[in-house]
Amino acid sequence: MKEELASFYQIFTTTKEAIERFMDMLDPVIEHAKDDHERLYYHHIYEEEEQRLSRLDVLIPLISRFQTEQNGNAFSPSNNTFNRLLQELNLEKFGLHNFIEHVDLALFAFTDEERQTLLKQLRVDAYEGYQYVKEKLAKINKRFDHDYEDPHAHHDEKHDHLAAVPDASTQKPQAKKRKGFTVGSLIQ
C-alpha cells in the first residue's frame, strides 16, 4: 500500500498543479466570452475544477498521513479514517476522468498552438494518472472489503473512451451514431 500511496501522492499533487494551469487558461476565456451561453459553459467547468481543487486540499494531506503511518492496523476498513481515504480516492478517480474530458473539450475549442501544446501536456499526465488510479483502486477495493461500491464500474469496463486525444483539425460532421464511445471513435 505504501508504494501506491507514494504514486497517489505524486498523481494528485501533479493534477492539482494541472487544475491551476487549466483554470488560468479558462480565466480570460470567461472574461471575454462572446455571450452568456459561452460564459456559463466555461464558468461551469471552472467551478467544477475549483470544487475538485478544494477536495484535493483534503485528500493530499490524508494520503501523506497514511504514508507516514507506522501502525499496520490503521490500514483497515475498521479504521474510519482509512475508509475516508478510500472513499476520497474513489471519488477523485472520477475527478481525474472528468478533468480529462474537460481538457478534451478545450482541445476542440482552443486550436491555437500554445494552448494545444499545454492542454496535450496536461492530458498526458492526467490520463496516465487516471489509468494508474483506476487499476490500483480496483485491486485495493477488492482487498479491503469496505462498503464502497464503485458508482461507475461499468464505465471503466465498457465505456473508457478516453484513450484517444481529440484532434479538432480532423473534426468532421458525422452520420448517426450509437451513444457511447469506442476507442478510436474520437479520431476517426
Binding region for a copy of itself (CB under 8 A) = 27, 30-37, 39-41, 43-44, 47-48, 50-51, 53-55, 57-58, 80, 83-84, 87, 91, 94, 97-98, 101-102, 104-105, 108-109, 149, 151-152, 155, 159, 161, 166, 168, 171-174, 176-181, 185-186, 188
Minimal distance, residue 3 CB to a copy of itself, in Å: 27
Contact (Cβ atoms closer than 8 angstroms) between residue 116 and residue 110: yes
CB nearer to a copy of itself: give 1 or 165.
Answer: 165
Q: Dig out the grid coordinates for 151 from the structure.
A: 458508482
How many other β-carbons are positioned within 10 Å of the β-carbon of residue 116?
16
Kindly state the smallest distance separating residue 25's Cβ from a copy of itself, in Å.
13
- The residue (of 11 and 104) whose beta carbon lies closer to a copy of itself is 104
The least distance separating a copy of itself from the CB of residue 63, rounded to whole angstroms, comes to 16
The single residue listed with the C-alpha cell 499533487 is 13
Consecutive H or E run containing 100? helix 80-109
* Residue 17: Cβ within 10 Å count: 11
Closest approach, Cβ 169 to a copy of itself, in A, equals 12
Q: How far apart are CA 167 and CA 146, in angstroms?
A: 41
Contacts of residue 17, Cβ cutoff 8 Å, sequence gap at least 6: none
The residue among 32 and 142 lying less far from a copy of itself, judged by its C-beta, is: 32
